[in-house]
A and B are shown apart, each in its own frame.
Chain A
């Protein structure tokens, strides 16, 4: 893909004998057991601005979940902000930290789907190692789940980031992405037992984990009143040139194929937008539509639009067709996405059960059905929720998704060796390699770092390395930086006027 991509996943955390009031501390304790080399406690928050809205304003404050706020009030913790965050930057350029009581792994920036899949899976393995280390230390059972709900009304996110040109008009971006994101769950959903809203409609199984938590079509929120289209304007690149599409409505996928299709199709729609294409219809009520599709996995997924009623599959086909017309034959990765997108939409229409080796929501439902029929229990039996949760257990010895992989029932896209490699190494063609090199070589000199800036202190000299413009293929630069024999040489390579700054200009601006 010709853009920077990333996935950030907040993991569900279970520590035997501990409850929600202890969860921040337990998340911090788990991260303290991280057995991998890292720069710790140096994340630079100064360039972050989560209240800035793409629509041209900044909200006074972000909404919070009232139930969660009550826990916060009743169970204050005595950790410092730095301790609470427990920031780690890893040698692969990834960020690992505590985000709202959840251990979060944010992949390094990738340009290729296979790199992203490997880095996403590397995150699972890194966090599993943290959990195992903490379990040994504490003596309590520690489990991590890559999902988005506790099935009791609390949700946590899996967000995708896509860099795109700011020249894409906001209204066009929002109006084109919203129907796409509203219907994308038919292949990207992770599946969920039951419904988490009051009054609770009796739905034994739905397509999406996250749809119950959509409250708005579009806003800047992430903690509460979550939207389908998030308007946060925080590009982590040069503001005047770039936007970042921050997708917060998606599910955490265990399936590599589903992750690849989810990210690949979304990136292609952004390609279309950058090339001047736009969707010429809109969904009448996106939130209601998303929830209706999700809660009717065997339905026709009919959607009311200003252009009449059409199925979610046909909506996806509109985007697919536009992408096929423009990008067929562009490169192997694009051709894979186009072909699989078409195949999946066709099978969803004719025989969705054949997608049980690719899509999470289908695979999980087949597992639950197998158990229900074998044990003679209904699909809405409470035991099904435990099995649903176990599907997302990242421990390959116990997780049900990994039982399917072990038996060859799920298509995988990256090898174990590639995931092993990604645990220690960044993608070779993005600015993440620069961050990774700093962690690998210059940990004592790293004063602070984030997605777009690294500050090094060497022999009383402070150097700011500005990565905000390094959004393209940086393979050549990374190769030269890797060959640098000293930190001085490393810094000099980055200190062209376009690539680094030693001034205080940025701080004061």
Chain B
């Protein structure tokens, strides 16, 4: 499924407020919606070093 950002950004954001520090009751902020551009995403993804996952080894934690 290719990103269908147009559909998503048109969908209304939640309008009911969540309480916030200070208790002012502002709602969740809308994202700063710019024109979706998958080229920028692809550029960022192409910059990812494909060998990083091979190098990435971790100690087990909790």
A339-B57 in contact (CB<8A)? no
Q: CA–CA, A247 to B44, complex, Å?
A: 34
**Nearest-CB distance from A329 to chain B (Å)?**
11
A411-B13 in contact (CB<8A)? yes
A407-B59 in contact (CB<8A)? no
> Contact size class for A?
35 or more
A421-B59 in contact (CB<8A)? no
A-facing mask of B45-61, CB < 8 A → 1, else 0? 10111111111111111
A19-B57 in contact (CB<8A)? yes
B-facing mask of A373-404, CB < 8 A → 1, else 0? 11000000011011111100000001010011
A387-B57 in contact (CB<8A)? no
Please choose the segment from A149-157, A270-278, A288-296 that sits at the chain B interface, where 4 or more of its residues have CB less than 8 A away: A149-157
A292-346 interface (Cβ within 8 A of B): 331-333, 335-336, 339-340
> Contact size class for B?
35 or more
B21's nearest neighbour on chain A, judged by CB, is A115
A153's nearest neighbour on chain B, judged by CB, is B60
Which residues of chain B have C-beta atoms less than 8 A from A102's C-beta?
58-59, 61
A71-B59 in contact (CB<8A)? yes
A408-B33 in contact (CB<8A)? yes
Contact for A114 among B7, B18, B38, B51, CB less than 8 A:
B18
A386-B13 in contact (CB<8A)? no
- Residue A484, interface by CB 8 Å: no
**Nearest-CB distance from A194 to chain B (Å)?**
10
- Residue A366, interface by CB 8 Å: yes
Q: Check A403/B44 contact, CB under 8 A, given A340-B14, A356-B8.
A: yes
**Nearest-CB distance from A193 to chain B (Å)?**
9
Which residues of chain A have C-beta atoms less than 8 A from B25's C-beta?
332
- Residue A412, interface by CB 8 Å: yes
A356-B60 in contact (CB<8A)? no
Which residues of chain A have C-beta atoms less than 8 A from B44's C-beta?
398, 400, 403
**Nearest-CB distance from A364 to chain B (Å)?**
11
B42's nearest neighbour on chain A, judged by CB, is A374
B19-A400 in contact (CB<8A)? no
Which residues of chain B have C-beta atoms less than 8 A from A400's C-beta?
41, 44-45, 48
Binding site for B on A (CB under 8 A): 10, 12-14, 19-20, 23-24, 65, 67-68, 71, 99-102, 112-115, 118, 145, 149-152, 154-157, 159, 222-224, 248, 257, 260, 331-333, 335-336, 339-340, 353-354, 356-357, 365-367, 369-371, 373-374, 382-383, 385-390, 398, 400, 403-405, 407-415, 418, 421-422, 427-428
**What are 13 pairs between A and B in contact, CB < 8 Å?**
A10-B62, A19-B57, A223-B62, A332-B17, A356-B4, A367-B3, A370-B38, A370-B41, A373-B2, A387-B45, A409-B5, A413-B29, A428-B21
Known: A23-B59, A356-B8, A366-B2. 12 other contacts (CB 8 A): A102-B59, A118-B21, A150-B56, A159-B62, A336-B28, A354-B7, A366-B1, A370-B2, A371-B45, A387-B45, A414-B20, A414-B29
